[in-house]
Structure formats: structure tokens, C-alpha cells
């Protein structure tokens, strides 16, 4: 009986009138608003284009490459003649294979010999003793001065000067190229310094996996974030792929060369100090697609 009453109430004239009434203006307006918002979102996602990217490890190198200066295993001491980060010219002496005391003593002896040979009429025993003591300090006691007369003394001075000068030159390491020099720790058997050649051009070297190589092409833009350089402060490096290897290297990775844009070495508040060997991560832009396509077709 109760069930029949419920069915009767649902089908009553009052209930049928409520159901058949046209929705109020609030309901109609809300439906239109939802439809408009949906259309705006679809349109915005269709016309908003996002880049498609691939990631890769990257290393900064130079062309021509840096010139490395290695320590001689036969020497335990090295003396830098100039400061690091300075510009040097080809054949300029930069390192002495010995102690600072040996180098300075040898230079003083050469200067003293040059002055004596041009001014003194004879070599006194005191001067001979001083010169011989200096020669012994630099390990060149075999260049022993004994003559005290003018003729013999001057000839011996010139001969000794020549021998000492030759010895000093053999102990000097000269710059193989012109450029900016950077010194490392003085340790035998290791790299003493390296020189970035003058007018060297920096570029990025990408290491691409087999999965990435199929999507990478010459001409694609690259954004590089170097390790140790906070992006919010230093920004990023910008470049473009100019070459891709046809075969993988020994580590089964393909190599790609990135030409860096000179005017975009820094996009942040501070300048990125480029140096060979700097590493980081690269983002290669392989294409562009709308947000709508990325959301519904991938």
C-alpha cells in the first residue's frame, strides 16, 4: 500500500509540473558559462605551443684545443715564473724545473757575470769566491772560475756565462702556444698547466644515446645548464647543433657539436666563466606541438 502511494505521488500533477518546467535563468546561465569556459580552454590549449625536448650530457671544449704541459718525472720541484690566468706568448718561459731559489740565484749570477765582464779589469779572489759559491748553490760547481788576470778572467767569465745560460735554458719550460695559461697543483707526473689558445672558440659536445639520436637533427636549438652555475643567477648557454657523428664512439654514445651563440653566454645576472672541460646538461628542442595535441595524442 505504501509503495503504491509513492508511485502515485511521483506521477501526480504537481510533480509532473515541476519536472516539465523550463530551468530557471540561473541554471541556463551556468550551463552557458561552463560551455564558454570549455571552449576557451580548448582554444587556448590548441594555440599554445610547447617545445618538444630531449636531454643529454654536455661538455664544453675549445677549437683549437687546449695545450697541456705535463710534469717531468725527473724533477721534483717546479717554479712558476708567471701568475695563473695571465696571457702568454709562444716560446715565453713559464716554468722553471727546479726551486725558486735555484732560479733566482742563477739569474743573479748571470747578471753579475755580465757586469764583471764589461767593467772589471781583473777578477779579485773575493769576486771569484762569490761566483763559485753561487754556482755551487745551483749545482753547477763544475763551472769553476779560477783565473784572476784580465785576459784569462774575462775569457773564463764569458765561457762560464755561456755554460750557465745554456743550463738555465734547459731547465725552462716555454709556452707552446700563445694564449691564457692556467696552472694546476705542482705534482710530478701530472699536468702542470694548460693554455687556452688565443682566439679559441668555445663549443659544446653532446653525448647522445641511441634513443635520442633518431630525434636529433642539425640546426636544432640547444639550452645548456652548466654544473656549478645556478640558473637563477647565471642563466643558461644558448646554441645550435652544427654536426652529428654518423657512428657511435667507444662508449656507444653518438657525439654532436653545438655552436654557442657569442651574445648569449650569459642570460642571468652574472657572467658564466667558460673553461674547457666544464660539464652540464643540455636540452635539445626537437620540435613544437600544442598543449592539446600533447594532452590527447600522447
Q: How do residues 172-207 score in pLDDT, each as one tens digit?
A: 999 999 999 998 865 545 788 999 998 889 999 999
Residues 188, 265: one domain?
no
d(CA 216, CA 53): 10
pLDDT tens digit string along 25-73?
555 676 777 777 877 776 766 666 666 788 999 999 999 888 988 887 7
What integer pLDDT is reported at residue 266 of this predicted model? 57
**Residue 160: inside a domain:** yes
Look up the domain containing 223 and give its range: 50-64+199-297
Residues 136, 23: one domain?
no
Residues 37, 84: one domain?
no
pLDDT tens digit string along 90-130?
999 999 988 898 898 888 888 887 777 766 555 666 666 77
Residues whose CB is less than 8 angstroms from the CB of residue 240 and which lie 6 or more positions away in sequence, other chains included: 219, 220, 221, 222, 258, 259, 261
b vs e for 249-269, b when ≥16 Cβ sit within 10 Å of the residue's Cβ? eeeebbbbbbebeeeebbeee
- CATH number for the domain that contains residue 58: 2.40.30.170
Residues 165, 107: one domain?
yes
pLDDT tens digit string along 4-25?
554 545 556 665 665 566 556 5
Q: 190 and 71 in contact (C-beta within 8 Å)?
A: yes
Number of domains the chain contains: 3
Residues 111, 190: one domain?
yes
Residues 181, 270: one domain?
no
- pLDDT at residue 215 tops 90: no
Residues 145, 57: one domain?
no
Residues 143, 246: one domain?
no
Residues 99, 172: one domain?
yes
Pairing of strands 201-208, 221-226: unpaired
Mean of all residue pLDDT scores within the chain? 78
Amino acid at each position: 500500500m505504501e509503495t503504491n502511494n509513492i508511485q502515485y505521488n511521483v506521477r501526480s500533477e504537481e510533480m509532473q509540473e515541476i519536472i516539465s518546467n523550463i530551468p530557471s535563468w540561473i541554471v541556463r546561465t551556468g550551463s552557458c558559462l561552463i560551455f564558454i569556459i570549455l571552449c576557451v580552454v580548448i582554444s587556448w590549449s590548441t594555440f599554445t605551443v610547447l617545445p618538444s625536448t630531449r636531454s643529454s650530457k654536455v661538455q664544453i671544449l675549445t677549437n683549437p684545443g687546449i695545450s697541456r704541459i705535463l710534469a717531468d718525472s725527473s724533477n721534483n720541484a717546479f717554479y712558476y715564473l708567471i701568475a695563473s690566468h695571465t696571457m702568454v706568448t709562444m716560446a715565453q718561459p713559464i716554468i722553471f724545473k727546479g726551486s725558486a731559489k735555484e732560479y733566482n740565484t742563477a739569474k743573479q749570477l748571470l747578471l753579475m757575470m755580465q757586469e764583471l765582464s764589461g767593467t772589471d779589469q781583473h777578477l779579485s779572489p773575493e769576486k771569484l769566491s762569490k761566483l763559485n759559491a753561487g754556482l755551487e748553490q745551483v749545482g753547477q760547481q763544475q763551472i769553476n772560475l779560477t783565473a784572476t788576470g784580465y785576459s784569462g778572467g774575462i775569457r773564463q767569465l764569458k765561457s762560464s756565462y755561456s755554460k750557465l745560460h745554456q743550463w738555465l735554458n734547459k731547465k725552462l719550460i716555454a709556452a707552446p702556444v700563445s694564449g691564457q695559461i692556467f696552472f694546476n697543483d705542482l705534482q710530478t707526473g701530472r699536468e702542470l698547466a694548460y693554455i687556452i689558445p688565443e682566439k679559441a672558440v668555445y663549443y659544446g659536445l653532446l653525448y647522445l644515446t641511441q634513443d635520442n639520436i633518431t630525434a636529433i637533427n642539425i640546426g636544432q636549438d640547444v639550452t645548456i645548464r652548466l654544473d656549478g652555475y645556478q640558473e637563477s643567477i647565471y642563466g643558461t648557454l644558448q646554441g645550435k647543433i652544427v654536426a652529428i657523428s654518423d657512428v657511435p664512439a667507444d662508449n656507444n654514445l653518438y657525439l654532436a657539436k653545438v655552436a654557442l651563440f657569442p651574445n648569449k653566454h650569459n642570460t642571468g645576472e652574472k657572467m658564466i666563466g667558460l673553461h674547457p672541460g666544464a660539464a652540464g646538461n643540455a636540452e635539445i628542442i626537437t620540435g613544437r606541438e600544442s598543449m592539446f595535441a600533447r594532452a590527447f595524442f600522447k
